[in-house]
Amino acid sequence: MIEFHRVTKTYNGAKALDEVSFAVPPGTVTGFLGPNGAGKSTAMRILAGLCRPTSGSATVLGRPYAELERPGYDVGTLLDAGAQHPGRSGREVLTLGAMMLGLPRSRVDEVLELVGLTGKEGRRAVGGYSLGMRQRLGIGHALLGQPRALVLDEPANGLDPQGIQWMRGLLRGLAGSGCAVLLSSHLLYEVEQVADRLVMIGGGRVLAQGTLAELGRGRSLEQTFLELTSHTDRSPA
């Protein structure tokens, strides 16, 4: 269970997040949808204890992130697939994570296989990875500790169609086993395919939330999304 309680974040007087509240129930995939710069990444970083909210709080399994003893067992995070040391091998990235969680090295091999990276690819430096491979590695890193919640920021970026399909299956499976999955994207059709619930955000505020059926009532989700986010539109009037 992931919860945001009236989270506000101000940067130099500008509100990046404004009283954001929503929850990700266990056993669901919740899509976190909004245009670029809407505040999705900021919200996820606050949840992971990397940024301080100006006010409000975010909790995982009922506790603020900073109070989790070994967060890697409670919540897996992929916040930026590009944020890797280019000289480190994929296997080494996972090994460091496994060491921190006190997991056996065999878990590294399991995870590599789970995310579809071959042994040879695992031994290569991450600097030579495509974005899609980095996403797979990042998802694998998030899954090391078999956490009960998962927070993924734009995980589908750079994945090829097979990769996107693979990820959908993986996330549905995890939700099916009770995991609470929060997945951000700026692409509606991507989220539509996998999510049970949607939280639409724009200009730092939650614009709408609910199940896909609730939000799409009577018209297409795309229309709803475009209407709701029209005030953050960058095109000339």
Which residue in the set 36, 55, 82, 118 belongs to the binding site for other proteins (CB under 8 A)? Answer: 82
37 lies in the site for other proteins, by CB under 8 A: no
Which residues does 145 contact at the CB level (< 8 Å), separation at least 6?
Answer: 70, 72, 73, 74, 76, 101, 103
99 lies in the site for other proteins, by CB under 8 A: yes
186 lies in the site for other proteins, by CB under 8 A: no
184 lies in the site for other proteins, by CB under 8 A: no
| Alpha helix (H) residue ranges in the chain | 40-47, 71-74, 90-101, 106-114, 119-123, 131-143, 161-176, 188-192, 212-216, 221-228
Which residue in the set 23, 125, 164, 208 belongs to the binding site for other proteins (CB under 8 A)? Answer: 125
129 lies in the site for other proteins, by CB under 8 A: no
Smallest separation (angstroms) from other proteins to the CB of 230: 28
Let me know if 74 is exposed, middle or buried by CB neighbors in 10 A (0-12, 13-18, 19+).
middle
| Alpha helix (H) residue ranges in 23-160 | 40-47, 71-74, 90-101, 106-114, 119-123, 131-143
Smallest separation (angstroms) from other proteins to the CB of 100: 5
Sign of CA dihedral 123, 132, 118, 108: positive
By beta-carbon proximity to other proteins, the closer residue of 46 and 198 is 46
Which residue in the set 18, 19, 80, 196 belongs to the binding site for other proteins (CB under 8 A)? Answer: 80
Residue type, 64: P
The one segment of 22-30, 64-72, 160-168, 228-236 that binds other proteins by CB under 8 A? 64-72
49 lies in the site for other proteins, by CB under 8 A: yes
Helix (H) / strand (E) element for 5: namely strand 2-11
Say if strands 55-60 and 2-11 run parallel, antiparallel, or are unpaired: antiparallel
Smallest separation (angstroms) from other proteins to the CB of 67: 8
34 lies in the site for other proteins, by CB under 8 A: no
84 lies in the site for other proteins, by CB under 8 A: yes
The one segment of 24-32, 87-95, 172-180, 202-210 that binds other proteins by CB under 8 A? 87-95
131 lies in the site for other proteins, by CB under 8 A: no
212 lies in the site for other proteins, by CB under 8 A: no
Rounded Cα distance, 77 and 141, in Å: 8
Rounded Cα distance, 184 and 81, in Å: 13
Residues that bind other proteins (CB under 8 A): 45, 48-52, 65-66, 68-72, 77, 79-80, 82-88, 92-93, 96-97, 99-102, 125, 141
